[in-house]
Structure 1
Amino acid sequence: MIRFATQKDGKEIATLLWEIFEDMELSLLKKISKDKLIEMVAEAVCDPTYRYGFKRGLIYELNGEIAGIIFGYPAADELIIDEPFKKVLIKYGYDPNEKLFVDREAFPNEWYIDSIVVNQKYRGMGIGSILLEEMGRIAIEKGYRTIGLNVDIANPKAKKLYSRLGYKKVANTVISGHQYEHMCKS
């Protein structure tokens, strides 16, 4: 079953996102422990304007467990999506100038798919495809004609999935020192 994320999902969302954070080798991971960072991201999920705010995410639930998550938003929101995390940094005594994400990721005028993660035990079941299609429907409902995402060039399986769903490479980009391909679907 697909449903919108809720504030109660924060801890599970943050735990699943950890895989992305590690793959991206985000610099903040060297300054804040895994458990503390998961706690902080989970707290920020409660703010609907956050990058991973509950109103920006869809959950694929299977057998009462979160099997996959996806987060997306209009590119124009990229300017404000990390402000809630900044507040959490301050609350826990960290430098408010620290950032989990330092680079712009979205391209102008697109609905941007920030993150998609499928729990390892549920991979290969088509959950990622279903989440991508559903997020695409939301983008269309919100009036967007272009959906964009970034794929790490070191992740050919993900690129194959996105290509199969109609995404096409439009540019190369660098995020947190890693090479990505920006892909879009009309």
Structure 2
Amino acid sequence: MERKEKTILLRPAKPEFEEGLQFAHYLDQAAEGFFRIMLGRESESIIATAYIDGGHSLSYEHVIFAEVDTKIVGMSSSFTEKQQRMFSEEPLQSAAKRNVIRLKLMRILFAPIWRILETIPEGDFYVQGIAIEAEFRGAGIGSILMQEIENRARASGSTRLSLDVSAKNDGARRLYKRLGMVESSKWPNSSFIPTVFIRMSKYL
């Protein structure tokens, strides 16, 4: 029996808590558990609460969802360097409530990583994360999301697309290379310490 192709729909996110929970799930998946480490067991609820507000990196304003048959199956989050410079940490800290001390301690502990991740060159359009539901990987959704991001980057007047990817995530790195991105730097930049993540970029 011939398998029917599914229609993939992209749409902007809405400021709703339930969508925020899905965003938080995908974001932590893209970050390989980093946000759960930062915020603890309540990480998804904390991110979903912050997601409803604007003016920060985890806001719904920067999120595009991919849907198949009205079901969310993936997401992307991205923003310009100019937007990033104006971001506030207040919405996440407010949402963290009793976990705010943990958040601040983790920010200190992971300060070197945060400095790299938050250093976005002038004119860049930064991809914070892309994640696809496991059963839909390989269906081209990642490429469709990346094309939408590139369109938004060009429309914003950005001159380059950039993102950070785990050095261990060979599948994602292959996708980005196939889409014309190249490895522009790595962290840590040392011959003696294993690479944790790689920054990839593409001039527009």
TM-score, length of structure 2 as denominator length: 0.78
Contact 2:74-2:133 within 8 A present in 1 as well: yes
Note if 1:6 corresponds to 2:14.
yes
Which ranges in structure 1 are unaligned for 5 or more consecutive residues?
none
Counterpart residue number, 1:15: 25
Shift of 1:4: 0.4
Report the structure number with the largest CA radius of gyration. Answer: 2
2 CA distance for matches of 1:82 and 1:133?
29
2 CA distance for matches of 1:113 and 1:131?
11
Note if 1:128 corresponds to 2:142.
yes
Residues 151-160 or 17-26, more deviating: 17-26
Question: Identity percentage over the alignment?
Answer: 24
Which ranges in structure 2 are unaligned for 5 or more consecutive residues?
1-8, 189-193
Shift of 1:26: 6.0
Question: Residue 39 of structure 1 aligns to which amino acid in structure 2?
Answer: S
SS in 1 for 2:196: strand
- Figure out how many residues of one structure are paired with residues of the other and give that number: 179
Residues 10-19 or 150-159, more deviating: 10-19
Note if 1:41 corresponds to 2:55.
no
Residues 10-19 or 75-84, more deviating: 75-84
Alpha-carbon RMSD: 2.3
SS in 1 for 2:100: coil
Question: Residue 83 of structure 1 aligns to which amino acid in structure 2?
Answer: E
1 CA distance for matches of 2:33 and 2:149?
23
1 CA distance for matches of 2:92 and 2:53?
9
SS in 1 for 2:104: coil
Note if 1:56 corresponds to 2:62.
yes
TM-score, length of structure 1 as denominator length: 0.85
